[in-house]
Structure 1
Amino acid sequence: MLVAISVLAVVMTLLTMLFVALSSTFTRQEAQHDSTGGASVGMQRIERVIHAGSIVSRGTQVLPAFEAGNQRSVSLHAFFDTDVASGPTTPTRVTLEVTSSGELVETRVMGRVVSGRWVFDRPAVSRQTITRDVLVPGSRVNGTSVGSLFRYELADGSLIDRPLTSAELGLVVAVRVSLSVRADSTGRVAPTRIERTLGLPNLDATR
């Protein structure tokens, strides 16, 4: 009887260990899947916004495609709603930003004409969280500093890894994006990173 109980105890211990191992594996796989999905969704939106970047002009007013840019956020002008007959109508100022909590947020402000010039002073028409669990540029993960989400390539080939100056805004011809997402706060799962160099087809400048 004692031997049977001992054998049963060993079997139960082995089954418990197996269950814990399987549960841990499933959790890691689920986190990796979530990280990959989040990074893919985030990069798709970033690509759409950057590719839509356009110079905005009205009369003598000419606004560069980029309004501002640094390592974790970018603001640019774009045309999204296009009528086939009349072409693009109202420009939008779009901001993509990674918050301190790791959310990739897109904010849109529609332009309006004031005294013959485009201005973007109205409240945002939308503010949407695109994806979560983004590694915040400048933060430290496992003792390593997270690199820039956005870097900016100028017409002369130089690469800017800092906030853009006003003189550089009109010289940007491409954005290098490095998006890292980790949907696991324990650190057991490596982040998913997607890198792209995104041009602006609507600009006259070429890479």
Structure 2
Amino acid sequence: MPSSETPAISASGRPTLDVAVVMRRERLHGPSSHWQPWRWTLDSVMPDEPGFGTEPRLLHDDEGEQRWLHPGLKVELFRDEAEGYHLNATTPTPCWFVLWRMDEEATLGPEPIPRPVVVTLSYYEAGRWLDAQETVEQVPAPTEVIDWARAFVDEHYVIEPKRRRRPESFRSLVDRFGNAASVTTEKKRGRGAGDV
């Protein structure tokens, strides 16, 4: 892993990576551009560098798009998210997942700019954010970062073997009180409707 992507250990003892997020503002075309001329989207996640500073800054600006750098984010690995990292690392294209929100206080002319809030490698964490109606986007993560996450998974995640379920037909029968019950195909003896 390049020196700028060197993992560290946080004060809490968890492995971390310092990252920066690049958000892209692109011009829309077509009928919808009358109401919304621009759209924000995730561009990339990269190693954070000391020279990036601490505040968002404009990297690129032309007629069709702008790119904004948001430094100072941390990716932290948690033991209880190990299965989520495993699921991400075993997909054909492992990703960074970024939760971002529009920052009403930071503006670009009359409109707010987006602010990345959290970056993760956990498939489950990203799913929880989506369930909470947050804006979450993904971009491919580099091999060396996924290898770092895999090493964490290898140390902290044990895949539980799937147990074969016994077919329902082999289960013992019990009544609603938990007492043994039986089923028979014999006709009950006794008076029928036609007996006198």
TM-score scaled by structure 2?
A: 0.24
Q: Choose between structure 1 and 2 for higher RCO, CA contacts under 8 A separated by at least 6 residues.
A: 1
Determine which structure has more spread, i.e. the larger CA radius of gyration: 2
TM-score scaled by structure 1?
A: 0.23
